Amino acid sequence: MTPKRRTRAFVLSMTISFIFPATGAYAQESARDWYNAGKKAVERAKRLKPVGSHAKNVILFIGDGMGITTVTASRILEGQRRGESGEENLLSFETFPFTALVKTYTVDMQTPDSAGTMTAIATGIKSRGWMMSLDPNETFENPVTARNLELTTILDLAERAGLATGIVTTARVTHATPAALYAHSPSRFWEDDTWLTERAKTAAYPDVARQLIDYAEGNGIEVVLGGGRASFLPETVADPEYPQQTGLRKDGRNLIKKWSSRPHTSFVWNRAGFDALIPGKVGPVLGLFEPSHMQFEHDRDTSAHGEPSLAEMTAKAVAILSRNKNGFFLMVEGGRIDHAHHLNNAFRALDETVALSDAVRTATKKTDRRETLIIVTADHSHVLTMGGYAGRGNPILGLVGAKGEATNPLWKQYNRTLDAKRFTALAYGNGIGGAHENQPSPLNEAAATNPDYRQISAAPKVIETHGGQDVAVYADGPDAQLFHGVIEQNVLFHVMVDALGLPGGAPDARTLSN
């Protein structure tokens, strides 16, 4: 799409038509400004029309753990980094014209995990937690019945239809969200043979890393980029980046060597190798940039010895996959949003969300909305909260009342706890942040805005948990209008299948009969 057409699409879908100067001078906003902006938003909404009903390509973005509070706070952070008050900002995908709320429960979990939620998105069927792309009749860690209860995924269908396929993630490529697209496992933890139970070994059930390398639908996955090298290397082989470390595999299999032994394949493990990939001259690409998860964006080494960003991996994947005249399916995961939340570290969770927004912006620039359906959603939420009576433009990572209290005497009264301590705008319902008395004393703005600060939690735990709230889906392109209202999570699969016109969308008959 041309920049001009993209700009029109952006303007069309914006909720508010004006953004005030980068100084965040919201005092300039008059009653007439707000009234006219609201009126124009309604006029634009009346002109909104579907793009079409058939997509050549689908790009599915998953912000792992990116609940609505995370999106709101990240939107503000991105705006404040530009010197604005932040609240008026929109992340790239928030400009998309079609949205819905998504219910994330699984058949056995009120608050779900990523394996169960991604199974719903990948297969169109809600199933159980902790397992990937298996019928809901399967039981956890049962390798005997699993082979007869495998569900067909959107990746399978795309490969069978002759489309190019790709997976990009900042987590391990064997982690639950990416793995649910290509693997079937009664335990999400069986990423390599180290974690297989004795029962699984007796049944010769393949671990997730093996299933990736041996994936045989169509002509195989064309692009896999992320972390997780250790699951592909035997424990006798040193890691190429950290020679003091070795692989995890106990079966002696060197899966990277197996991948590289095939014609025209490429394997890369750092930024230099990634940059050397020329889309028009490479075959299938496997890029594994860390032994485990990739670095947080804030900590990422950007040198030739380091790692590419999520936006850079997205751009490379789109360029490679676009060579297929039949189209492509690509899943891009901002996997470390979730990990930062589990650590009660709001800074990195929001920073990773902004990085995902950058990747979405990159994808929109490199595709045509008339032929590419772009979907942005989350697999589940987290227990992040945003509260207190903070003034407009209050630093989102800072103390409530850091800005604005002088203009309203009530704010000073309400922005203290019963023990007269200050508190941050962001907090967690549970986790390792600990209770108020365990926070730095005194808790000042410098401490609260430190990237390593862990926000307070109401219920101390070893690790913060997921949240059971609905998440949002944002979409643009063909069939994007099918997202509206409140939907079940498995509906995402069916929209993608419909948009691509894929045949054989149903799972095997043996599973439908149960």
The residues annotated as belonging to the active site are 114
**ω into 97 cis (within 30 of 0):** no
**Contact (Cβ atoms closer than 8 angstroms) between residue 338 and residue 178:** no
How far apart CA 317 and CA 311 sit, in angstroms, is 10
Q: Rounded to an integer, what distance in angstroms lies between the CA atom of residue 54 and that of residue 16? A: 30
Q: Across the strands, what pairs with 459?
A: 430
Q: How far apart are CA 180 and CA 174, in angstroms?
A: 9
Spatial separation of the C-alpha atoms in residues 404 and 395, rounded to whole Å: 11
Q: In what order do the strands lie in the sheet with 384-386?
A: 384-386, 426-431, 457-460
- 158 is written with which tokens? 């795309």
Cβ–Cβ < 8 Å for 90, 463: no
Q: At what angle do helices 31-47 and 3-13 cross, to 10 degrees?
A: 110
How much of the chain is helix, strand and coil, in % rounded to 5?
35, 15, 50
d(CA 349, CA 337): 4
Q: Are 198 and 204 in contact (CB under 8 A)?
A: no
**Do residues 100 and 485 lie in contact, with contact meaning Cβ atoms separated by under 8 Å?**
yes
Q: Which residues, at least 6 apart from 483, have a Cβ–Cβ distance to it below 8 Å? A: 98, 99, 100, 375, 473, 475, 495
CB-based contact 356:63 (threshold 8 Å): yes
Nearest to residue 169, comparing CAs of 336, 305, 298, 319? 336
Task: State how far the Cα of 214 lies from the Cα of 198, in Å rounded to an integer.
Answer: 22
Q: Are 254 and 233 in contact (CB under 8 A)?
A: yes
CA-based end-to-end distance of the chain:
45
Integer CA distances (angstroms), 26 to 81, 83, 85, 92, 213, in order: 16, 12, 8, 22, 54
**In contact, 184 and 151? CB cutoff 8 Å:** yes
Tokens 């001259």 correspond to 281
Q: d(Cα 171, Cα 8) in Å, to the nearest integer?
A: 34
Which letter does DSSP use for residue 271 in this model? H
Task: Say if CB 51 and CB 61 are below 8 A apart.
Answer: no
The C-alpha atoms of residue 507 and residue 409 are separated, in whole angstroms, by 62
Which residues sit opposite 57 in a β-bridge?
328, 372
